[in-house]
Amino acid sequence: MPPLIVDIHTHVYPPAYMEMLRARKSVPYVHDPADDADPRLIILSSDDDPSIPIDERGRPVDSSYWNIDVKLAFMRRHGINCSVISLANPWLDFLEPEEAQTWAQRINDDLENTCARVNKAGDPDKTLALHEKESLFAFGALPLSAPSADIVVNEIKRLKTLPHLRGVIMGTSGLGKGLDDTQLDPVWGALQDTGSLLFLHPHYGLPDEAFGGSDAMNRYGHVLPLALGFPLETTIAVTRMLLAGVFDRFPRLKILLAHSGGTLPFLAGRIESCIHHERKFIANGGDVPGPERSVWDVLKTNIYLDAVVYGTAGLQAAMTASGTDRLLFGTDHPFFPPLADKEGEWPSVTTNYKAIHATFDKDGDAAAAVLGGNAARILDLK
């Protein structure tokens, strides 16, 4: 029997989200060209340049972003049994405070209903094992811009009552001030108390100047912000949490990091060394508490990593830092599609498959765990 394959990093813009974006006139918004071409998502302020014709702004979002049947076809093409879908960036961070709760509930209910419909259609009698059908679960979105932390906390609690929700997805800016913001403590507390997994995902959090500004974007496209900016953004965000004592205050917090944790597994030793030598911390005679737990302890206790790293070197670093039993397969669908044969296999996916098998070529049990067993256990996929 082939191993169970679970994709924990796969995005979708559900119908309610597309409806909301179509009704907006400021970033982010969706524009429908007059010639029946694919809708275009304008997600960055730089995409909304008035000098660019509106039908050319942003990026096209074809049916793979919002049609769940296309998602299922992608799963079949790549042998994926189960996907844990989540809203793609920018999530709900941009909403006005008075709108946040309503839209979060509506979109999360949309995700739940989608999963329930697909799972019932594929197994109406609920008798098939997970690897014998195509099934969906989801990570919910949070109303972080809501006027009260209680609203966010209540949505976290409500998500635990939805049968197919298995955690939440969140960006690295938190409430706008980063993840070391103490105003996030009620959110961390609710996630810890409910045992909810947080899928942490970056969203263009580093300035364009870090990559050479608009001139570099014109020459290199999105290579630098996606290949380097996203991973560094994640690394910085989690390190700020560590330095601020978030993992000391919430020792049972569970976080799944996108893109194998960015550079965190590779730089953990350097981060630990710098903490050890920092004069501002009380341990070295300063007046700032500093973290009580080590980076290594947090990586092996609080952190899970996806396997979206496209190579054996990155997987080996992730495995060493966090553990084979905490590494989970993902595809990042529908991003990074093939540019030629769109009906064939996606190189971005097959590269991850090859890297996993190459890394664990002498341990079939470990490969099976990374491909799906870990996700089934950690997320209780039944």
The DSSP code sequence of 212-258 is: THHHHHHHHTTHHIIIIIHHHHHHHHHHHHHHTTHHHH-TT-EEEEG
| Backbone phi, psi, residue 245, to 5° | 80, 15
75 Cβ partners below 8 Å, 6+ apart? Answer: 7, 81, 83, 134
Q: What is the pLDDT of residue 213?
A: 87
Residue 247 has pLDDT above 90, yes or no: yes
> Can you read off the two tokens belonging to residue 186?
């009620």
Instruction: Give CA–CA dist 223/80, Å, rounded.
Output: 27
Q: Looking at this protein, which amino acid is placed at residue 365?
A: D
pLDDT at position 104: 98
Where are the domains positioned within the chain?
6-13+66-379
Query: What amino acid occupies position 305?
Result: L
> In the prediction, which pLDDT does 53 show?
92
Round to whole Å and give the CA distance between 381 and 122.
Answer: 15
Percent of the chain with pLDDT over 90: 87
What is the pLDDT at residue 128? 81
- The one-character DSSP state at 294 is -
The secondary element (H helix, E strand) that includes residue 303 is strand 303-306
Q: Starting at the edge strand that comes first in sequence, how are the strands of the sheet with 82-86 ordered? A: 6-11, 82-86, 135-141, 165-171, 197-201, 254-257, 303-306, 327-328
pLDDT of 126 > 90? The answer is no
Which pTM was predicted?
A: 0.96
Question: Coil, strand, or helix at residue 113?
Answer: helix
pLDDT at res. 214: 82
d(CA 234, CA 308): 14
Adjacent-strand bridge partners of 101: none
Can you tell me the mean pLDDT for 196-205? 96
Please tell me the CATH code under which domain 6-13+66-379 is placed.
3.20.20.140
Residue 118 in contact with residue 110, Cβ under 8 Å?
no
Average pLDDT of the segment spanning 341-370: 92
The answer to whether 35 and 359 have CB atoms below 8 angstroms apart is: no
Tokens 């917090």 -> residue: 253
Q: Which residues pair with 173 in a beta bridge?
A: none
Averaged pLDDT score across all residues of the chain: 95
Place 338 in a pLDDT band, splitting at 50, 70 and 90: very high
Instruction: Inform me whether the pLDDT recorded for 343 exceeds 80.
Output: no
pLDDT tens figures, 98-125: 999 999 999 999 999 999 999 999 888 7
